[in-house]
A and B are shown apart, each in its own frame.
Chain A
């Protein structure tokens, strides 16, 4: 975006900056940068490398081959030689593209600029394109976030503006798992430089959080770019790059449902956003409940969304305008709250939104409040509404009069025409008001015909028999038609009711299937469907036992079925009790279906719990089986050695040399030791498992406990680094000693002969400090899931060999937890297994450690721009 370089009104073209952004060291930024440099060089561009830190990574160094590397400026500082970018040399050389690694690097004191990015700015000003790298944790705006995640404050920071000004920012991404694998293969740090504390920084959680930061930061930049582009190109239609959901709130009670639904949609994709908007009318009149809106606003904010208020008379229009302005991808509105008749006269906002939406997706959500309108229609005494009955009566009484008046205007002698006209009135009355008004209309009409139109006129007698028959037929037809119409109306009503019942039941089933707490959901559904104040589910153990309330929706639960206004008992031991209103017989039938459903649901719940219980028991059985196998193997093997040795020693017929005798005796002693160890472990495990370990917690220094615990290991096999100035921990020294001894023994056994390192430090996780003891071996290590399995007792099934007892680590973890600690296994960078024992510090109210006492001394210890935390905590490396 060239317009950004306008800051420097230089005649020359300002150089372009391209930055490779990574989430953590080792993801391959420098590698990607050098690849890019090579690509450009191969295209014939003049590329020169001003500074690249390979950190001794071979494959990175390989990428450097064939590129011109400019000499660096060596600065002497406190006895260290620091190689910095030789800015003047680069400017003199003036390549088209300069490669400058680690944008956030701090230059040695006495350099022209304090920071490397300032060097880069100067290069850009000189019209040199620059390719560089930066880690996300160095960005200034993310400093405190990163400190919170990793527990380490970054001193080398880069102003965000510098990175924003970059023409291109490319993310070099890698999954945490892949990075950890790289690390454990020694691709990131050479095995010789393995600083086991480093693995703390490369925890999956840490890496995932940093990666998310990097992705989000970049996504925001991409968004900015997209917006800029849309503005430039005058694009108004939304480009749904990420899910941005706008939910319309009317201030009605359905708002909360809509907000939750919208939040679910927004949460479906990464980086989804939720915006709630309330359109207030332009005349300033308040038609909605401000309290409810405030409530919903709080809900929106608690779900991570933002609340907006816009003013406009055309609600749908204002809503859509707002959504387009936000580049929203979806608009969520509630289904219309109007009844059917009202909908005829004014269509709901929802419909208007759908009509005007254009390219926007619109979701019309049915909700509780609307469903409340669909509550089971009470079975009416008269099947038809009051209004229709009234209309029927008006037609029945007024219709014949009107028809009589009309017919009187046209004198003619055709009775059948008259009767037809009256029949129309009767049918209309039947259609409108049902049977009774129709019968009345027929009577009135027949009297009117008799009086006005049959000879003799104005008398209630009929001269011609044919007319009498016609009138009789007319009355019969009128009765038949009106009764048919009435029956049809009733059928429709019944059908609607059945549909509502079915709907209610099926909604019950559906909600129950999906719900987290099906019982509560089902009761709540029952409560709203029957429009009562509370629905309670009661159970008792036997037909005569007392009832207990299992769950209740609404207020004032029933303690017994008798408390309810309506209750259904299922198989004598389950009961659904409603309180709030008396139910009609029809509603009761539905209630019974509900109760049966809930009883089945409850049964399923109990069965599932039982199945889980059985599974747990089975797992316990498997563990016990494994215990027997392992114990029988581990006990019998040393016993066999013991017995074979003793048999040899005792056999009177055998003459053994002194050397053989000594060897057999040594075998006896060794086997006895092993048996003792195994029995100790078994007893410990039993104590841990049965919870009889009573830790005696005291404040103690790790430097007092750890050396003693490591003393049993073969000499020269263990290297201890336990600083004396480490803060004290709260633990049981005796038990801790056992844990550490176990870990050291295990590490020595599996360490493939390499020395085992025991490192103590202070770790910070989520801004809480704790003591961390690492027991590091450089053996073959354990792959992924096997690491966690190593803590399961007797994980070695069958007679499978392997020098270890199946118990050591299980005991260690059990005891570590008993003393308030935590024990985990991790990969050793460069290969091997690292056991991480975390213990609470005494008086854990400490703040984050002051990150640096002597910055420059440390700057030398780590490659620039690399994470510092591994070495920081209280000078582990000292």
Chain B
């Protein structure tokens, strides 16, 4: 049973999430402010933290920073706005993913699962990831579409590898650039646009309506299985 820490100052939402997640087999701890969030995280060692950015006492960013000081627990940020500087800041500060209010429960559950899976990644990333007609063999470094092998440049492959390894999870632009191009990069988002477009042309059925390589505008990219 995975443990989740829910941090939100809205009692109604806290209650609804607790009931929903508990009924689906999660071990839920719910708190209403940042201080108790840090305290509860230290006490219960959750597998994932669901964090609302608007808290009465601390800034959501401070909570992210506080957690990152000693833990790499996945943090999913709850935000009330689709594009918000706060969310980007939170992701930059070390949050792993975000969900916009109001959200569908199944989407939230999928994100929670992806986050927990990423955490266990060290133990067992599947060697082969299949998504629709795509088959990505991470061990052999090959990609096939409808059984046909697809040729990728080394950079394209590296990019795809990072995204597939974190399948379902948001990978921020900065994270991708640093991982694929090197630590000196971080702002060259135009590289990402170019390479992701190339990947879509090679991998997606309809590159203009991608189903696997999803853009989260202003935030990053997500590989959906």
**A residues whose Cβ falls under 8 Å from a Cβ of B:** 629, 632-633, 636-645, 647-648, 651, 654-656, 660, 663-664, 667, 670-671, 798-802
CB < 8 Å neighbour of B19 from A629, A639, A660: A660
CB-based contact A664/B16 at 8 Å:
yes
Distance to closest chain B CB from A668 (angstroms): 9
CB pair A799–B23 under 8 Å, yes or no, is no
The reply to whether A648 and B19 form a contact with Cβ atoms under 8 Å apart is: yes
The residue of chain B having its C-beta at the shortest distance from the C-beta of A648 within the complex is B20
Q: Which residue of A lies closest to B54 (CB)?
A: A799
A639 to B16, CA, bound (A): 12
The residues of A that contact B54 with a CB separation of less than 8 Å are 633, 798-801
In the docked arrangement, what's the CA distance between A775 and B23, Å? Answer: 45
Is B101 located at the chain interface by the 8 A CB criterion?
Answer: yes
B193 to chain A, nearest CB (A): 27
Nearest first, the 3 A-B pairs at minimum CB distance are: A799-B54, A647-B105, A640-B101
Minimal beta-carbon separation of A765 from chain B (angstroms): 38
Which residues of the other chain, A, contact B24 by a CB distance below 8 angstroms? 654
The answer to whether B13 and A641 have CB atoms under 8 Å apart is yes
Interface-lining segment among B76-84, B111-119, B125-133, B217-225: B76-84
Within the assembled complex, what's the spacing in Å between the Cα atoms of A801 and B104? 22
CB neighbours (8 Å) of A663 from chain B are 15, 19
Asked if A642 and B102 make an inter-chain contact with CB atoms under 8 angstroms apart, the answer reads yes
Q: B1-25: which residues lie under 8 A (CB-CB) from chain A?
A: 9-10, 12-13, 15-17, 19-20, 23-24
CA of A393 to CA of B105 in the docked complex: distance in angstroms? 115
Provided the pairs A640-B101, A798-B86 are in contact, do residues A660 and B23 lie with their beta carbons within 8 angstroms? yes
Tell whether, in the assembled complex, residue B80 and residue A636 are in contact, meaning their CB atoms are under 8 Å apart. yes
- B79-110 CB mask vs A (1 if < 8 Å, else 0) is 11100101000000000000011111110100
Chain A residues lying within 8 Å of B17, measured Cβ to Cβ, are 644
B66, CB-defined interface residue at 8 Å: no
Residues of B within 8 A of A636 (CB): 80-81, 100-102
With contacts A633-B54, A660-B23 taken as known, whether A799 is within 8 angstroms of B103 at the C-beta atoms is no
Is B56 on the interface with A (CB-CB < 8 A)? Answer: yes
Digitize B51-68: 1 where CB-to-A-CB distance is under 8 Å, 0 elsewhere: 011111000100000000
Give bound CA distance, A332 to B60, whole Å.
Answer: 67
For residue B81, which residues in chain A have a CB less than 8 angstroms away from its CB?
Answer: 629, 632-633, 636, 799
Nearest-neighbor residue (CB-CB) of B53 within chain A: A799
Check if A647 sits within 8 Å of B104, measured CB to CB: yes
Q: Is A667 touching B103 in the complex (CB atoms < 8 A)?
A: no
Assess A802 versus B56: contact at CB under 8 Å? Given A637-B13, A637-B101. Answer: yes
Asked if A667 and B16 sit within 8 Å, CB to CB, the answer is: yes
Q: List 20 A-B contacts (CB under 8 A).
A: A633-B54, A636-B100, A637-B13, A637-B101, A638-B12, A640-B80, A640-B102, A643-B102, A645-B12, A648-B19, A654-B23, A656-B23, A667-B13, A667-B15, A671-B12, A799-B79, A801-B9, A801-B55, A801-B56, A802-B56
Residues in B with CB closer than 8 Å to A638 are 10, 12
Once bound together, how far apart are the Cα atoms of A204 and B9, in whole Å? 38
CB A629 to nearest CB in B, in angstroms, measures: 7
Contacting pair A645 B84 (CB below 8 A): no
Contacting residues, chain B, for A664 (C-beta < 8 A) = 15-16, 19
Q: Which residue in chain A gives the minimum CB-CB distance to B9? A: A801
For A800, the chain B residues whose CB sits under 8 A away are 54
Other-chain residue from A637, A643, A671, A802 in contact with B104 (beta carbon distance below 8 A) = A643
Cα distance, A419 to B141, chains bound together (Å)? 126
Task: Determine the residue in chain A with the shortest Cβ distance to B34.
Answer: A801
Contacts of B19 in A (CB 8 A): 648, 656, 660, 663-664
Nearest-CB distance from A666 to chain B (Å)? 8
Q: Which B residue's beta carbon lies closest to that of A800?
A: B54
In whole angstroms, how far apart are the Cα atoms of A310 and B163 in the complex?
100
State the CA gap A664–B20 with chains docked (Å).
9
A638, A654, A801: residue with the most chain B Cβ atoms closer than 10 Å:
A801
Of B20, B53, B60, B79, which one neighbours A647 at CB under 8 angstroms? Answer: B20
With A656-B23, A664-B15 known, 15 other A-B pairs at CB within 8 A are A633-B81, A636-B102, A637-B101, A638-B10, A638-B12, A641-B12, A644-B102, A644-B103, A644-B105, A644-B108, A654-B23, A654-B24, A656-B19, A667-B16, A671-B12
Chain B 33-75: CB-based contact to A (< 8 A → 1; otherwise 0): 0000000000000000000111110001000000000000000
Q: Which of A640, A656, A660, A664 has the most CB of B within 10 A?
A: A640
Q: A636-B80, A799-B81, A801-B9 are in contact. Are A644 and B86 (CB under 8 A)?
A: no
Question: Nearest Cβ in chain A — how far from B77, in angstroms?
Answer: 10
Q: Is the CB of B10 within 8 A of A637?
A: yes
- Please give, as numbers and ranges, the residues of chain A lying within 8 Å of B86 by CB-CB distance: 798-799
Residues of B near A642 (CB, < 8 A) are 102
Contact: B80 with A632, CB < 8 Å? yes
- Structural contact, B13 and A640, CB atoms closer than 8 A: yes
On whether A648 and B10 interact (CB within 8 A), knowing A655-B23, A799-B84, A801-B56, the answer reads: no
* Measured CA separation A799–B82 after assembly (Å): 12
What is the minimal beta-carbon distance from A654 to any residue of chain B, in angstroms?
5
Q: Which residues of A contact B20 (CB under 8 A)?
A: 644, 647-648, 651, 654
CA distance A141 to B84 in the complex (A): 65
Chain A residues within an 8 Å CB radius of B101: 636-637, 639-640
Q: What sequence of 0s and 1s flags, for each residue 170-205 of chain B, a beta carbon within 8 Å of any chain A beta carbon? A: 000000000000000000000000000000000000
Note all chain A residues with C-beta closer than 8 A to B78.
640
B80 with A799: CB separation less than 8 A: yes
Chain B hits for A647, CB < 8 A? 20, 104-106
Chain A residues, CB < 8 A from B80 = 632-633, 636-637, 640, 799
By a CB distance below 8 angstroms, the chain A residues around B13 are: 637, 640-641, 644, 667
- B56 x A648 contact (CB < 8 A): no
A643 vs B86: C-alpha distance when bound (angstroms): 23
